[in-house]
Amino acid sequence: MYQYDTFDHALVRDRVSQFRGQVARRLAGELSEEEFRPLRLMNGLYLQLHAYMLRVAIPYGTLSATQMRRLAHIARRYDRGFGHFTTRQNIQYNWPKLEEVPDLLEDLAEVEMHAIQTSGNCIRNTTSDPFAGRAADEVEDARVWCEIIRQWSTLHPEFSFLPRKFKIAVSAAKVDRAAIRVHDIGLHLHRNDAGETGFQVMVGGGLGRTPMVGKTIREFLPAEHLLSYLEAILRVYNQEGRRDNKFKARIKILVHESSPEVIREKVEAEWQAIRDEAVDLPAEEVARIRAFFAAPDWPARPDAPAALAAARAKQPAFDRWVKANVAPHRTPGYAIVTVSLKPVGGPPGDATDAQMDAIADLSERYGFGEIRVTHEQNLVLPDVAQEDLHALWLALGEQGLATANVNLVSDIIACPGLDYCALANARSIPVAQDITRRFADDDRIGLIGELKIKISGCINACGHHHVGDIGILGVEKTGEEFYQITLGGRPDDKAAIGTITGRAFAYDEVVDAVERIVETYMALRADGEIFRDTLTRLGHDPFKEALYAAD
């Protein structure tokens, strides 16, 4: 993992003192709420329905055990004993007191964390593959480049007042686990025919009210030129992105309205003008950062140990958990474990302080003290010896963290919705909770197989509903909550935006509607198909029929 040096520490500490001053000016009445708003937003502090909400950055979703314990401490000391992991691989606290936020930030700074640029019209936390560095299908640990981007984008003098927020995601694997095609910039690190590493650069993806899949403007950018190329894109966007209408201000609209070809030409021209300037890092600095992400020295452990097979045979619940939550590791004898934060009836992505502490302990006992946050609002223990899986499962079970549903129907992404969010039109969390209760039977969800439900409480699409196999969007009609259902979205290397099935459903009809879709699929699927395959093969008609036949 990356570790701060004196310079990184100085910047974060300076930022904490600066924000302490800004809060003091607000509390003393020197700043009105209106004047304070842009300042707090540059530091992740929102004013929500009931209270302030603070969003803490977890750069590219990687945490140490020490940092996770600090997040638990913050949940206890400044909040109501829990935190909410988000689709940006960050964590949100829903109940901090304004006057305590500077202390909270100081506690974070001690463990090399901050809330810089977790909101505002600036470059946000760069997200990445939660399996980075551990997956067999990658060319390099993508987090090297995420950290390079993190530093370059922090308090950027030119790009801190963009037309709108700006999100960058990086993946270095064949399978896209970071949804890079629905980001303002998606970067796919790969090798060319000559064996050199470089980025496929995609621009203009995004969700929100105008969902779009990113367009490739460069197939291969030599990796060492990343920052100058990003600077070129950001400069074109800062100058030409729309500022007349906040709903049309994202770069996707600029790309759409001027065409990907025009944007490519402008970016390339700008890049040619600056590519030899100082912004690209010297090779020794890239090497310094890369060294922090060197693979740990995994002690030899038996691959596919007999005890694991025996435990799976003996305990069906453990077997289900292994099937759903355990992924292959690049090193024989090890596994990547996803810890589901989607228990039946629980709010997706929430963890209590005790759970966070427990995960921190387990990451040290069964790994090297490293934890990842996924954009699907789960946690990952990236280095578990296969021999230890059973013991880990038992320990997770004691904390209510052994839910065996990763990628299954109850592994739902949901935004905070009307329970917390000032923008929401409808509740999201209770809908997710109700769906998990309906699909509480582990055998049943195992039979249903991979199926991703994503729920947003408004058109801003924080719950990624556009890219769910089943997407649910809360809307408001004459004071009532209604929910539109979309089908066929996906966020990965074959990214697609879902299409609306038809009329929206009332709050108490949604779970039945979802179940009708699932039952239709179960009745029609061919051998070995998952939901997405059946939908692709048969089209949407049978599902619409099942949803609306009674209309």
- Choose among 505, 350, 472, 341: nearest CA to 420: 350
Pick the binder of other proteins from 99, 136, 161, 314 (CB under 8 A).
161
- Choose among 383, 369, 380: nearest CA to 111: 369
User: Is the CB of residue 431 less than 8 Å from the CB of residue 455?
Assistant: yes
551 binds other proteins (CB under 8 A): no
In whole angstroms, what is the distance from residue 108 CA to residue 102 CA?
10
38 binds other proteins (CB under 8 A): yes
CB 320 to other proteins: min, Å: 46
Q: Pick out residues in 354-413 that bind other proteins (CB under 8 A).
A: none
Q: Pick out residues in 45-64 that bind other proteins (CB under 8 A).
A: none
CB 22 to other proteins: min, Å: 7
Nearer to other proteins, 14 or 443 (CB): 14
Q: Pick out residues in 221-250 that bind other proteins (CB under 8 A).
A: 235, 238-239, 243
Which among 57-65, 271-279, 369-377, 537-545 is the span making contact with other proteins, rule CB under 8 A? 271-279
Nearer to other proteins, 243 or 544 (CB): 243
The angle at the Cα of 406, spanning 402 to 408, to the nearest 5 degrees, equals 120
Outline where DSSP puts E strands in 269-364: 326-328, 334-339, 350-352
CB 149 to other proteins: min, Å: 11
The two structure tokens encoding residue 292 = 């922090």
* Chain CA centroid to CA 85, Å: 9
In whole angstroms, what is the distance from residue 508 CA to residue 525 CA?
27
Q: Which residue, chain included where needed, has tokens 């801190």?
A: 160
123 binds other proteins (CB under 8 A): no
Nearer to other proteins, 49 or 286 (CB): 286
479 binds other proteins (CB under 8 A): no
In whole angstroms, what is the distance from residue 53 CA to residue 69 CA?
20
Nearer to other proteins, 166 or 318 (CB): 166
Report how many residues bind other proteins under the rule CB under 8 A. 42
Pick the binder of other proteins from 14, 196, 257, 261 (CB under 8 A).
14
**Count of CB atoms within 10 A of residue 33's CB?**
9
User: Is the CB of residue 212 less than 8 Å from the CB of residue 205?
Assistant: yes
Q: What is the DSSP letter of 511?
A: H
282 binds other proteins (CB under 8 A): yes
Nearer to other proteins, 230 or 380 (CB): 230
Pick the binder of other proteins from 21, 81, 222, 539 (CB under 8 A).
21
Which among 150-158, 196-204, 487-495, 514-522 is the span making contact with other proteins, rule CB under 8 A? 150-158
Pick the binder of other proteins from 156, 256, 438, 444 (CB under 8 A).
156
**Count of CB atoms within 10 A of residue 317's CB?**
13
Outline where DSSP puts E strands in 411-479: 413-414, 453-456, 470-477
CB 538 to other proteins: min, Å: 48
Per DSSP, what are the bridge partners of residue 47?
Answer: 52
Q: Pick out residues in 288-307 that bind other proteins (CB under 8 A).
A: 288
Nearer to other proteins, 18 or 48 (CB): 18
278 binds other proteins (CB under 8 A): yes
* Chain CA centroid to CA 233, Å: 23
User: Is the CB of residue 113 less than 8 Å from the CB of residue 56?
Assistant: yes
In whole angstroms, what is the distance from residue 304 CA to residue 310 CA?
11
In whole angstroms, what is the distance from residue 119 CA to residue 165 CA?
7
* Chain CA centroid to CA 295, Å: 23
Which among 11-19, 195-203, 335-343, 419-427 is the span making contact with other proteins, rule CB under 8 A? 11-19
Nearer to other proteins, 278 or 306 (CB): 278
Binding site for other proteins (CB under 8 A): 5-8, 10-11, 14-15, 17-18, 21-22, 35, 38-39, 42, 121, 151-152, 154-163, 235, 238-239, 243, 273, 277-279, 281-282, 284-285, 288
